[in-house]
Amino acid sequence: MVNKSSVYFTTLSLALFVGLSAIATSFPATATTKSKPIQQPSLNRREMRVAGRLRFRLPRVGAPKTREPGASRGSSSSSCTAQGKSLMALLPSTNVGLSVAAHPTFFVAVPGTSAQEAEFALYDGEKSTQAKYETTFPIPNKAGVVSIRLPQKDAPPLVVGKTYRWSLSLICDPEDRGADILVEGWIQRVQPSSLLSNALAKAAPRDRPAIYADAGMWLDTVASLADLRNANPKDSSLISDWKDLLKSVNLGTVAEEPLVKVDISQNPTP
């Protein structure tokens, strides 16, 4: 039987050998401006986030703000979440996640809530107020890490090299949207290098999180590891990897929360 740690170590060694590196980029000044050409600088150890058997390389990105917990959309002082608990995007401290996927999966830690519905929206860049895609969907009332996959049928594919803003809102009061609890994050789709593509093509599903992590693809790292956990819910090594990965970006407070999948493809907003 092949030792699981050995498999991870071999995968990481391969990824480091081929030199998969993080992406340096800047955010667009307007909704229609594309990011600067992707560069591939090397990273030193201080720029790495080490998580158990996964080695996540934190990319140098010019984030518009740091990761923050969810807050009320308006001036309402009411809340529909458990006291002391916050809505939190599962992103690095830069509040930006890179992905090679045209229709990526987003992750948000949702506290226990009395809200019945949530709204997901995707925007072009920082200043755009017109959503490219938005939908409302039922939200579980128990705390958990909610995964939201951008549907291929209803949502346009993300453009390579472009940065998007996304948000998730808990609709606390349908009659007063100012009472929504809102969290925002950023995503940029990147073109995978031939080395990354080849490594992924040859890799078993269990090895892909380590390859994505070494390449700095946060959203793909989390999504591939979440898929493995959903398929193997009692696998202690996957549970440990998940906890270590979240702790490495200071999200340890939600590392124990269960994974919750929601389907947002049923009710896209026209």
* pLDDT confidence of residue 260: 93
Rounded CA separation 187/178 (Å) = 25
Strands 181-189 vs 96-99: parallel, antiparallel or unpaired: parallel
Which tokens hold the place of 197?
């593509």
Confidence tier at 14 by pLDDT (50, 70, 90): very low
Confidence tier at 83 by pLDDT (50, 70, 90): confident
Rounded CA separation 38/23 (Å) = 6
* pLDDT confidence of residue 237: 94
* Region of residue 16 (phi > 0: left; psi between -120 and 50: alpha; otherwise: beta): alpha
pLDDT mean across residues, the chain: 79
| Residue 205: Cβ within 10 Å count | 10
Rounded CA separation 149/38 (Å) = 25
Q: Rounded to an integer, what is the distance from CA 116 to the centroid of its chain?
A: 23
CB-CB contact of 108 with 69 (8 Å):
no
175 pLDDT exceeds 70? yes
Q: For the residues 171-193, what does the mean pLDDT come to? A: 93
* pLDDT confidence of residue 96: 93
| Residue 73: Cβ within 10 Å count | 18
Give Cα separations from 174 to 27, 33, 118, 119, 264 (angstroms).
33, 34, 10, 11, 18
How much is the pTM? 0.77
114 pLDDT exceeds 60? yes
List the one residue out of 268, 255, 266 whose CA is nearest residue 109.
Answer: 255
Confidence tier at 268 by pLDDT (50, 70, 90): low
* pLDDT confidence of residue 66: 59
Q: For the residues 45-50, what does the mean pLDDT come to? A: 38
Per-residue pLDDT tens over the stretch 127-151: 778 899 999 999 988 899 999 999 9
Per-residue pLDDT tens over the stretch 197-212: 999 999 999 999 999 9
Rounded CA separation 62/35 (Å) = 10
15 pLDDT exceeds 50? no
* pLDDT confidence of residue 55: 66
Q: For the residues 77-90, what does the mean pLDDT come to? A: 79
Matching residue, tokens 């049928």: 153
* pLDDT confidence of residue 59: 72
Rounded CA separation 25/126 (Å) = 15
- Longest CA–CA span in the chain (Å) reads 59
* pLDDT confidence of residue 248: 86
Q: Where are the alpha helices (DSSP H) in the chain?
A: 4-18, 194-202, 208-214, 218-231, 236-248
Confidence tier at 65 by pLDDT (50, 70, 90): low
Q: List the chain domain ranges.
A: 4-262
* pLDDT confidence of residue 10: 44
